[in-house]
Structure 1
């Protein structure tokens, strides 16, 4: 699921920057696949919950999987929002020329963070979770105050910025849940090094 979400945000970013209607539709189509995958996963997890004789570790995996799939679904919704912005603004690009490089960098970082999240899920590398968290913070500081661009453009840039910020927040949340799976410890803030570095 996370690989598909990474692909969706990449396509949505390119569609936004290039005012590419076909790519925007492709990104939206990809996000609809995420919804189907999440429904399938929920059905599997609910069937697992219905089994008798659950042990706490099994329950932790089931519940955490459901939470992670909800985060992935939210990421796909945010990618869809970016793609829809490309559609409604066509043929114009809502991103001012001097911000195109920054938005491209944010989109690449969002996709990279999702791919790092995939690695964390597969490898259970707790140290990588901290690196992902640090990269997430960087995305929050890449776009300055957009009010200088006028009301309409400022609103569009603010929407784009919020979509990417929320996207990387959800990616980091998924990665933090891996710590919970491994250590049965909730981690809400990774700003301190021990014991996760």
Structure 2
């Protein structure tokens, strides 16, 4: 415990530095023991049991679902048609542990689920992961993902990267995979380039 402030000579406010982690660990333990669970989410072929209040605290989507008189507010089983089981599993793990594991094999499923269910912190983590993994060999795929999920900050960084490495990039098979929109956007951007447009065309 630490002292936060004194409200008077006789009154002191203390704060537990471990309270947040203790609370989260307790909720995750109850989930693992199937205690006080009040909703089942079906994604893909898998079912995930959870606590409504925990989901609502992490997701604007679930907060609206459970508090705005939507029909799902009174349903014990909710089917999520546009969410994969892999993506939902990652979000449940994040909800109860604050951790999410990202890899090149699961990133699209996790990002798709996070975008659909409005897990904003996970979307930010996915964007950071993609930026870290970006290279000449995958930048077109990363650009397509950024455009699909409106990750505008990431999109700018990708095209800046392409521009800075344009001469080398233009000689790869990846460059040939650019859509007409992507090529036009790249050539029209005002990011610094390492060659002339004539070298590319």
What TM-score results when the alignment is normalised by the length of structure 2?
0.29
> Comparing both structures, which one devotes a greater share of its residues to strand?
2
> Comparing both structures, which one devotes a greater share of its residues to helix?
1
Flag the structure with more relative contact order, 1 or 2, with Cα contacts below 8 A and sequence separation at least 6. 1
Which structure: larger Rg?
A: 2
